[in-house]
Structure 1
Amino acid sequence: MQKAYEPPTQEKKPAKFDRATIQWLGFFLAPVLAGLAFYALPESYLNQDGAAVAISHEARVTAAVGVWMAVWWLSEAIPISATALVPLVLLPLMGAAPIKNVATSYGHELIFLFMGGFFLSKAMERWGLHRRIALLTLRFFGRGQRMMIAGFMIVTAVLSMWVSNTATAIMMLPIALSVVALIEEKEGASSQFAPALMLGIAYSASIGGVATLIGSPPNLFLAGYIRERFGTEISFAQWFMVGFPLTCVFLPLSWWLLTRLFYKVSPNPPAGGRALIDKAYRELGTINRGSVITLVVFLMTAAMWLMRPMLTKLTIGDLQPLAGLTDAGIAILAGLCLFSLPVNPKERVFVLDWETAVKMPWGILILFGGGLALAGAIQSTGLGAYLGSLVTHWQTLPTVLLIALVATMVIFLTELTSNTATSATLVPILTAIAIGMALDPYLLVFPATLAASMAFMMPVATPPNAIVFGSGKISIPEMARVGIWLNFIGVGLITLVTWLWIPVIMG
């Protein structure tokens, strides 16, 4: 019987010591660097018109808070989500903004959009719907080792569009390890199927996450920031028209590279592999009522998200009854349906209960709020305008080169840092830079956001990378050797999408 997957314990004391040293260094260095940032800003600067603009006390405080948060985020001196609470304390305390203004960011509507997405994902997990979908798809693709990897990657990518990429990778890994064990039993441990499959799961989880607005935290952070900063909404449908084509190109390309170039995976079917998947699917039994209701709610929610621009324009007589419909409203409506629809009315068992829902990653929601609070302060205090004035000489660079530079910088930065924290730090700064250059901000913030989910080299870059690395089937040098090529391919695809497609979709 295949042993259940258990994450390996790490007992390398030198590594722990090094990490602890970095964390303590970041903890004490952050306030020192924040103080230096406060006093390092000049009294004034010259704007685009050549006029002198004074830098306010509020802007200095915001710069200090931004540096403090960046150091704690990068070093993980305290939990990343806890760092996101810093603006609630320091911005009001130091006179940069009233607390009611800062606190508003933590209740932004897009936080509730993500909350609704978490409700859906928790309902799927509770009733095993995600596992059923995965095994059903694998049965369809299980005609050869290459096609089996394609099946794993497609399932992982599709689930990651709606469920967190971490949960998706954790769910897919035990299934994958069962298939790997069977193939290694028949062909030996030298088979290249295992590393190709492990990397395929990790990479497709990240690639799938960029397809939808709720697929990855940086996506929603950008949408929330753009709405706060410019009053412009990035709808679910608009994001889908940008992210889904990118996923549709990158996913098969990465599969081809993994199964034909980086690893020579046999096209022949694995002996007994299909039978193993069929057996796992049969063990699920008939689909339960909870899964059926969850699937119906999920499909209706996805349809409403995609059709919302049409629904808001629906006219009955002189009325537009759905004019106020928002993506966040649809998400919370889905959550309410899950809490209200009974699976067993007599015993009052509903599709979703609070004991299940409370397990959602609340820290991500707080992280959003902290990032939006900092971004709002950068804009309202004038700090953003000053940052933009520092790089006006970039105007001489071709736009396509700027896009590629931003994508490259973010991809390799997120190899070592949290993608959401990186987005929260860089998006407001890149917006200010774009405005200072008289450039459409979308051309810098979109590649930064997409690139934040495209780090493929290191186990610490993304949770899926870390999860498959923990399987013991892939080494760090091997992941880096393959991942660096996908990083650069990601830069190229993001650059093309941003330069050619985003202006069309975003107008």
Structure 2
Amino acid sequence: MVTDIKAWFNHVTVCWRGYFSISVILLLSPLLIFGYNDPKCRCAFVVLLMTIYWAIQPIPMGVTALFPVFMLPILELATSEEACRPYLQEANMVFVGSLIFAAAIESSNLHRRIALFVLKNIGSQLDMIMLGFMGITMFIAWWITNTATTALMLPIMDAVLHEIQPKETDSWNDCLKKSDSKRVDNINNNDTNNNDKNNSIKGKTNNITNNDGNNNDTDHHQNGHFMVTVNGNKESIELSDEMGLKDRTLKSGSPKSWNNQQTNDNQDGDSSVLQSSSNPTSESKIAQLRKIMYISISSSANVGTTTTLTSGGPNLVLAYVLDEWYHERTSVDYLNWLMFAAPGSLLTILLNWIIFKYLYLRKHKVSKTNSKANNVLQEKYKQLGTLRFHEIAVVILFVTLVLLWMFRDPQYLRGWSTIFPEKYRPRDAAVVIFMVAVLFFIPSRPFGPYPSPGLIEWPKVQNKLVWSVILLRGGGYAVAKATQTSGLSAYLGNMFTKINGLPVVMLIIIFAIIAGFLTEFASNSTTATIVLPVVAQVAASIGINPLVFLIPVTMACSMCFILPAGTPANALVYEHAGLKPSDMVIPGLLMKVTSLAVIVANLNLLGYPIFGLSTTPDWARATFNSTLIS
């Protein structure tokens, strides 16, 4: 009997994905059995099924993202043509172009030069080192994905922390090296058995691929890589040895030796060494310090993705919703968004740094005359050499791209796109794809040696274009469109109108909190796909400017700090630093409260004047009238 139960348990453990998938369909089947005549019930079945599959992932996210292609026609919610069209919407092409341009930046090492230049000039005080890391991580995440930014900063943080507490780092990595061979074997075995399920991100730190957004799928593992898990998917990420830490590079594992090693290493008069004793309490504080330094990187990357319309998944979903529902008649454009979001991002980073400084860093005494950690950064910056043509060309093209986006059709002056007929005016996708093409025309070494590749090579582009992420966005767009055409978003929005007696600011806070905590359990793009159409409908139902709800909810979807599964940046830091889930809860909650408060305050201080939120524009009234008619 015991043997039979054990065999059954083993069978369920191996086959749980199939059982779970079928069980979810059966649980949701009453929506079809008893409500098939109502398109809202049929759409709710699709939305709930895909949401559960995306959150638990019994099958890969990319496969789930393709469900609308066959489910919408079968359930008579859309034709096949209408179901397929969202997968290559303009917003998705902007995402593809942005990924390719980010790959060019990483290929040129431009982002590393910027990071090291800033860090080497911030001094050697521990609190200033943290502020420098948080600030530059946030800035780089404005332009490239949060996963790529986090993976870039981790080896640099490794080098700095090694100089702050070298003996401890060496001891920890000695322990890791003993188990590394076994871990690599396990990873390779896992790769053999799971190529059809798991995706990886491969390459060095400066060749990292985002998945954003959630944004998390490729498929193979190699020696030197370690595994992270994001929303059920395993990822393999290799941290490079560019910081000169071949024997110290941090790999996945639990840093238990942090709490088991004595850390009295102040033998150099100028070294940046924590003054710690050999008692367990002091060792625990050292471990906590290291963890919070790593957490500050992922949180800053997540905050940075809110700053430009092309930097984060929820921002692209917002662009899609505005385009589909209001046909780009809104006051949101690249320049307006940057003017609104950048001050909020800077303030959020500053407040988070103050919280970390007074709750965590003040417990540690650091020599005020130390310079060894700063010397490491100085040395690594010198190793980059002088600016190369490759870097100069990429930065010129990148600045040109941003300027073209900003002044394509701004609200306050006549943009360059107005020289074209209105019907054929280029939009953001046309701009970024044109600049991507230019990357391939210009050689990276025009003065030799020859032959010279372009500023980006196609094999690197292929490594960066994670199709599961692109499909994830397309599937989200298809679901968002279906909720509109079926009337589901209107139905859910009308349910919320029962609380329209509350002040608008209270509704903003409620919706931001809902989105901010949902994004901890599902990807930020998925959360935005589900929530944005609903809050837009709420705004239409009560007759206010929809941007009053859409903007804060979009930003709240990116504020994922508490759980490692919420975003690849969190998962990467979680595995790299050997964190426990509890290590992220308290800092994450503090950052969550701070970020949501800044979002609401920034909306009232800057959002209302910049986007004209105090009035209900014509495009919003038209949507409101169509809602009443339907």
In structure 2, the partner of 1:483 is: 588
**Matching residue's letter, 2:506:** L
Correspondence list, 1:263-302, <5 A: 263-264=361-362, 268=368, 270-302=370-402
With 324-333 and 263-272 compared, the bigger mean Cα shift is at 263-272
Structure 1 residue 218 corresponds to structure 2 residue 338: no
Match of 1:366 among 471, 475, 478: 471
Deviates most, 255-264 or 183-192? 183-192
Query: 2:221 corresponds to which residue?
Result: none
Residue 405 (structure 1) aligned with residue 504 (structure 2):
no
CA distance in 2: counterparts of 1:322 and 1:125, whole angstroms:
37
The correspondence for 2:407, drawn from 307, 314, 322, is 307
* SS across alignment from 1:349: coil
Cα RMSD for the two superposed structures? 2.7
The residue correspondences of 1:185-264 to structure 2 (distance < 5 A) are 185=166, 186-187=273-274, 190-191=285-286, 193-232=289-328, 234-264=332-362
Deviation readout 1:447-498 (Å, 9 max, x if unpaired):
2211111121222222222222223364432321111111111221222233
After TM superposition, the structure 1 stretch with the greater mean CA deviation from structure 2, 60-69 or 174-183, is: 60-69
Distance between the aligned counterparts of 1:239 and 1:17, measured in 2?
52
Report if aligned partners of 1:145, 1:193 keep a CA contact under 8 Å in 2: no
* Larger-gyration structure (1/2): 2
Mapping of 1:92-171 within 5 angstroms?
92-171=73-152
Q: Quick check: 192-201 or 414-423, which moved more?
A: 192-201
* AA at the equivalent of 1:358: Q
What's the offset of the Cα at 1:504?
2.6
Structure 2 unaligned blocks of 5 or more: 1-9, 167-272, 277-282, 613-630
- The verdict on how the C-alpha distance between 1:21 and 1:74 changes in structure 2, with shifts beyond 3 A counting, is farther
Asked whether the 8 Å contact 1:131–1:171 carries over to 2, the reply is yes
Distance 1:452 1:116, change over 3 A: same
Measured in 1, the distance between the counterparts of 2:92 and 2:547 equals 21
CA distance in 2, matches of 1:390, 1:427: 15
Deviation per CA, 1:141-160: give whole Å up to 9, x if none: 13422111111111111111
| 1:269 CA displacement | 5.7
Aligned to 2:526: 421
Going from structure 1 to structure 2, the CA distance change for 1:503 and 1:364 (only over 3 Å counts) comes to farther
The more displaced of 129-138 and 390-399 is 390-399
Q: How many residues align?
A: 477
Give the 3-state SS of the residue equivalent to 1:210 in structure 2: coil
After superposing the two structures, state which structure 1 stretch, 281-290 or 63-72, moved more.
Answer: 281-290
Superposed CA offset, 1:63-95 (max 9, x none): 221121111112122222321111111111222
Cα distance between partner residues in 1 of 2:486 and 2:397: 43
Kept in 2, the 8 Å contact 1:198–1:473? The answer is no
- Report if the CA contact (8 A) 2:490-2:534 is conserved: no
Q: Give the Cα–Cα distance (whole angstroms) in 2 for the partners of residues 472 and 383 of structure 1.
A: 43
**What amino acid sits opposite 2:300 in the alignment?**
S
Q: Does 1:332 align with 2:433?
A: yes
Whichever residue aligns with residue 64 of structure 1, its letter is: F
Give me the whole-angstrom Cα distance separating, in 2, the residues matched to 1:140 and 1:231: 46
| TM-score for both structures, normalised by structure 1 | 0.87
1:389 deviation in Å? 2.4
Would the aligned equivalents of 1:430 and 1:445 in 2 still touch at CA under 8 Å? yes
Which residue of the other structure, out of 456, 463, 471, is the alignment partner of 1:352?
Answer: 456
Shift, 1:27, TM fit: 1.7
Q: Structure 1: which amino acid aligns with 2:384?
A: L
User: In structure 1, how many angstroms separate the alpha carbons of the residues matched to 2:548 and 2:420?
Assistant: 35
Distance 1:496 1:330 in 2: 33
Q: Secondary structure at the residue paired with 1:112?
A: helix
What amino acid is the match of 2:482? Answer: A
Question: 1:381 Cα deviation (Å)?
Answer: 2.3
CA positional deviation for 1:33: 3.9
Match of 1:176 in 2: 157
Distance 1:287 1:19, change over 3 A: farther
- The residue that corresponds to 1:10 in the other structure is none
The answer to whether structure 1 residue 81 and structure 2 residue 65 are counterparts is no
User: In 1, distance between residues paired with 2:557 and 2:90?
Assistant: 22
Alpha carbons of 1:322 and 1:504: their partners in 2 closer, same or farther (altered >3 Å)? farther
Please give the secondary structure, in 2, of the residue aligned with 1:389.
helix
CA distance in 1, matches of 2:369, 2:291: 17
Task: Judge conservation of contact 1:206–1:454 (CA < 8 Å) in 2.
Answer: yes
Equivalent of 2:547, from 442, 447, 459?
A: 442
Given the superposition, is the C-alpha separation of residues 140 and 20 from structure 1 closer, same or farther in structure 2, using an over 3 Å criterion?
Answer: farther
Matches of 1:423 and 1:459 in 2, distance apart?
Answer: 19
TM-score between both structures, scaled by the size of structure 2? 0.71
| Contact 2:390-2:445 within 8 A present in 1 as well | no
Distance 1:450 1:299, change over 3 A: same
Greater Cα offset, 458-467 or 264-273? 264-273
Q: Which amino acid in 2 is paired with 1:31?
A: I
Deviation at 1:121, TM superposition (A): 0.8
Residue 185 of structure 2 corresponds to which residue in structure 1? none
Relative to structure 1, the CA distance from residue 60 to residue 124 in structure 2 (aligned partners, 3 Å threshold; closer, same or farther) is same
Q: Which residue of 1 aligns with 2:485?
A: 380
**Retained in 2: the 8 A contact 1:391–1:436?**
no
Identity %: 27
- 2:405–2:428 Cα contact (<8 Å) kept: yes
Give 1:60 shift: 3.3
Give, in whole Å, the separation in 2 of the partners of 1:161 and 1:19. Answer: 42
Quick check: 2:334–2:405 contact (8 Å CA) kept in 1?
yes
**Cα pair 1:26 1:72 within 8 Å, conserved:** no
**Partner AA of 1:92 in structure 2:** P
Structure 1 unaligned residues grouped into runs of 5+: 1-15, 44-55
Counterpart of 1:329 in 2: which secondary structure? helix
Change in CA separation of 1:18 and 1:402 when aligned onto 2, cut-off 3 Å:
farther
271 and 442 in structure 1: CA distance in 2 versus 1, 3 angstrom threshold: same
Taking structure 1 as reference, are residues 489 and 151 closer, same or farther at Cα in structure 2, changes over 3 Å only? same
Shifted more, 237-246 versus 121-130: the winner is 237-246
CA distance in 1 between counterparts of 2:583 and 2:388 reads: 41
